[in-house]
Structures are given as C-alpha cells and as structure tokens.
Amino acid sequence: MNLLERLRVKEQEDVTQESNVEIKIPAEPPVELEVQHPEMPAEPVERMHPVKVQTDDYQQLRSMVFKYILKERKDDDIEVIISDLDDIINDVLKENESLSHVTGLDSLKRELSNDLTGLGPINPLVHDETVSEIMVNGPHQIYVERNGKLELTNITFRDNEHVMAVLEKIVAPLGRRIDESSPMVDARLPDGSRVNAIIPPLSLAGPTITIRKFAKDPFTIRDLINFGTLTEEMAEFIKACVESKLNIFVSGGTGSGKTTTLNVLSSFISNKDRIVTIEDAAELQLGQEHVISLETRPPNIEGKGQVTIRDLVRNSLRMRPDRIVIGEVRSGEALDMLQAMNTGHNGSLATGHSNSPRDMVARLETMVLMAGMELPVKAIREQIAGALDLIIQQARLKDGTRRITSITEVQGLEGDVIVLQDIFTFRQMGVGPDGKIRGSLVPTGVRPKFYGQMEEQGIYLPPSIFIEREEPVQ
C-alpha cells in the first residue's frame, strides 16, 4: 500500500467512526488507551506515555489532519510529512478554530506518525535505537531486547486483528501474504530490519512477530573490544588471519553475535578484492567498493522460484570472486563452500550454528551429507580439514554479553580425526559486582601452524601473543 492508499483506508476508518457515535472505537487506538493485560506485572518498567482519555474533538482533529495530508501532501515522502507534522497540525487548527482547544497534540503527533509508518503501537520501538529486537507474543505481550537483556514493555495491541493489520502492512509491499494458508513469513522492513511472523493456528499465543533491528551503524572492531567480546590483541590476530586469506568460520548459537563478527571480519578484507556476499536476508554491511551482495529468495505462493544459499554459492564461483562471504551455512551448501575453499578461493568467511568448534566440524559433516552426494566420511573430513583454517567460537553468556570463547585452528587430518587446536580460550575470572562475568581470551601457548604462512605473506604478528599466560595483556 502506498501512502495514498494507506491514508484512504485510514480516512475510511475515521469516517466510519464519526458516523457511528454509539460505539466509538478508534481505528488505531493510541498507546495511551491500551489496557494493560492482566497477566502483565502490576508495575512494569515505566509507562511510555501518560494515560489520557481522548475526546471526540481530538478524534475529529485527527481525522481532519489525515484529510489534509491526503489532499495537500500526497506526493511527499512519509519522512518529510512526519517531520512537518507540527506545521501540518497548526495549519489544520488555523483552518478549524473550533478545534483550537484540543489538548494532547504531542500524543496526536505520535499517533499520526505511527499510523503513517504503518507499524502501529510498536512503531516507537522500531525507532528506538536502544532496542535491538522486538518480540510480539500475541497482542498483549511485547518484549524488547536492550543491551542484550530481555525486557517486557507495557505496550499492547488491541487484539489479534490489530496485530494482523500491522503484519499485513509489513508483508504486503513485498508481494507476500500472511494468512491461514501461508502462516509463516520472513520479511524485511524498509530500513533493512528482519521480520519473522507466525500466526494462529500454528502460534497458540496469537500472531507472533519477531523483529531483529538492522543496526544503522554496524558494530566495528573497536565496539567489540569495548564490549569485551575480544581483546585488542585478539583483534590484531584476527585481522592478520583475514589479511592472510585464511578460511574462517564463525560458530555460535542464535543471537551470539556471529553475523556481527562476520561483518567485522569482512571489514578487514582488502579494498582491492572483489567480494561476493551470500545471505538469506542481507545483514552484512561492507564498506569496500567492490562488493556484490546476493540474497536468497523463498518460493512464491505456488511454491516455485526458490533460490537457495546453495544455488548462490554455486553461482558465485562463476563470478570471479576474490572472497566469498556466506552469512550462514545450514545445509548442502557446505559442500560447495568447502570445495570452493579447497580450490583456490582462499580467504572465504562464513558462519554456522553450533556450540563448540568440535560440534561445528561434526555439523559440517552432516551438512555435507545433506547435499545428497554419497560421500564417504573420510572424504568429507578431508574436505573439511583441507578447507577450514580457523574457527572462531562465540557465545552469549548468562549476563547478556557476547564473547568470543575460543579461537581454534583446524590443523588437519590425523587418521580419521580432524585435529583441532585452541590458540586462545576464554578464561573466566569470577563475576563482578555488577553481575557481569569477568574474564578474557588468553593464549594457550600454542603457535598456530599457519603462522609461517602469514609471515611468508609479509604479515607479521609478534610471537609473544601466543605465549601462555593467565591474564590477557591489554
């Protein structure tokens, strides 16, 4: 729906309300009017906006402003209209002096911009930069993630239909639909944030929306160091690994920060390289000039036209890439990726879902089998051992922080076994007074086998960073 259509619908809704004085239900009730769900804690964090009961004149003004926008500003961008809302409301008030007594203009403004951008009550959360994820569990329970911690908000939708209306506004512009026949959808907001929705009957809590916000300013290596995800020294080490074209896999659980780390790793790639990125939903934000971003496509409503990560990996090999960066390896594409890594596409980067480097290797074996080729286990292990150089294991700790918990070299195959060697491991040093886990990556004392290879390429790391010790050197 474009702005014009959206406004028309709104206007329709408003007109219906005006003609129906008996049961006056606002089309999109503002946050202020929402009732608190009985199951929510009695004293949630703090109310986002003061509770206020609205008058008929308020509703009338709202509807006049809509009509005004529809008439006078229909060709403008929504952002421009929203930034001009003060002036617009003033103009409408000048033309309609009988409404000049209406109070609550701030909340009117907020409500209008929520309606214009189409996300209703969760709009403020979408624009709140401290919120990294939004989780709508049915109409009456909305959680957010801030600084790695879950928080229950006091924002609610009116009912299931209200959530569905917002969902439709999210998916319709993408040519997708969400209803009983297609009750699960992945979509993206215009700003790049990822949206997943699953609705009844599959979701018992009511329509459930999960929004992973797109970081406007992606984290840099400096941020990760400041967060304590890794130390300065580790950063140097990892940078050298990327520059010397090692094949690196970032492993970790959901939300452990894999994609963020992958983005940071990719930032170390030379500006001269031709980089092809492959993702399910484009999240990586690379600063280099020569980047080609590829994105998969889900099947259409008839179940046709799907393009998988595997298709894209295969295609990318014909694109003369210097570097292939794969957002997440989940299935048969593992085989194509390993083959690429083994046949001259060094310096490839990828992530995978797993809880330890050893587990990651085992999962890769399974994923290669998913490619549908009857390969003997030994051959698969040879591929893995030959292709991968380094596994960076990441975790989200209990205190909400994301840490790199080990940096592990894939040394090769001994007999049937893939030999893994930790170069750095996480050492926990107690819990701070703030409840934060204290600890850091420390060297295990083993110098990686690829150290020589790095030196050959003129990339120098002081050998002292591999000397075993208890505390990190900062």
Q: Which residues bind ligand ADP (CB under 6 A)?
A: 132, 148, 215, 224, 227, 229, 252, 254-260, 402
> Which option in ligand ADP, Mg ion, none does residue 148 bind, with CB closer than 5 to 8 A by kind?
ligand ADP
Q: Which is nearer to ligand ADP, 158 or 212 (CB)?
A: 212
Q: Which is nearer to ligand ADP, 290 or 396 (CB)?
A: 396
> Which option in Mg ion, ligand ADP, none does residue 405 bind, with CB closer than 5 to 8 A by kind?
none
Three-state DSSP at 1 gives coil
Answer yes or no: are the C-beta atoms of 283 and 367 closer than 8 Å: no
> Which option in Mg ion, ligand ADP, none does residue 255 bind, with CB closer than 5 to 8 A by kind?
ligand ADP
User: In the complex, what is the shortest distance from the CB of residue 258 to Mg ion, in angstroms, rounded to a whole number?
Assistant: 5
Answer yes or no: are the C-beta atoms of 334 and 371 closer than 8 Å: yes
The residue at minimum Cβ distance from Mg ion is 259
How far is 449 from 159, CA to CA, in rounded Å? 60
- What is the phi-psi region of residue 210: left when phi exceeds 0, alpha when psi lies from -120 to 50, beta otherwise? beta
β-sheet bridge partners, residue 145: 133, 150
Q: Which is nearer to Mg ion, 116 or 326 (CB)?
A: 326
User: In the complex, what is the shortest distance from the CB of residue 313 to ligand ADP, in angstroms, rounded to a whole number?
Assistant: 18
Q: Which is nearer to ligand ADP, 348 or 394 (CB)?
A: 394
Q: What mask, x for binding Mg ion by CB under 5 A, covers residues 389 to 428?
A: ----------------------------------------
Q: What mask, x for binding Mg ion by CB under 5 A, covers residues 255 to 294?
A: ----x-----------------------------------
> Which option in ligand ADP, Mg ion, none does residue 440 bind, with CB closer than 5 to 8 A by kind?
none
Q: Which is nearer to Mg ion, 259 or 277 (CB)?
A: 259
How far is 8 from 170, CA to CA, in rounded Å? 17
Q: Which is nearer to Mg ion, 114 or 263 (CB)?
A: 263
Q: Which is nearer to ligand ADP, 29 or 257 (CB)?
A: 257
> Which option in Mg ion, ligand ADP, none does residue 423 bind, with CB closer than 5 to 8 A by kind?
none
- Identify residue 420 by its one-letter amino acid code: L
Residue 393 burial (C-beta neighbours within 10 Å; 0-12, 13-18, 19+): buried
User: In the complex, what is the shortest distance from the CB of residue 460 to ligand ADP, in angstroms, rounded to a whole number?
Assistant: 27
How far is 63 from 146, CA to CA, in rounded Å? 35
User: Which DSSP state fits 338?
Assistant: H
97-127 residues labelled b (16+ CB within 10 A) or e (exposed): eeeeebebeebbbbbbbbbbbbbbbbbbbbe
Q: Which is nearer to Mg ion, 114 or 259 (CB)?
A: 259
User: Which DSSP state fits 438?
Assistant: E
Answer yes or no: are the C-beta atoms of 299 and 281 closer than 8 Å: no
How far is 441 from 429, CA to CA, in rounded Å? 11
User: In the complex, what is the shortest distance from the CB of residue 242 to ligand ADP, in angstroms, rounded to a whole number?
Assistant: 17
The residue at minimum Cβ distance from ligand ADP is 257
Q: Which is nearer to ligand ADP, 84 or 399 (CB)?
A: 399
Footprint (CB under 5 A) of Mg ion, residues 233-262:
259
> Which option in Mg ion, ligand ADP, none does residue 227 bind, with CB closer than 5 to 8 A by kind?
ligand ADP
How far separated are the first and last CA of the chain, in Å rounded?
54
> Which option in Mg ion, ligand ADP, none does residue 165 bind, with CB closer than 5 to 8 A by kind?
none
299-337 residues labelled b (16+ CB within 10 A) or e (exposed): eeeeeeeeebbbbbbeebbeeebbbbbbbbbbbbbbbbb
User: In the complex, what is the shortest distance from the CB of residue 212 to Mg ion, in angstroms, rounded to a whole number?
Assistant: 8
Residues at the interface with Mg ion (CB under 5 A): 259
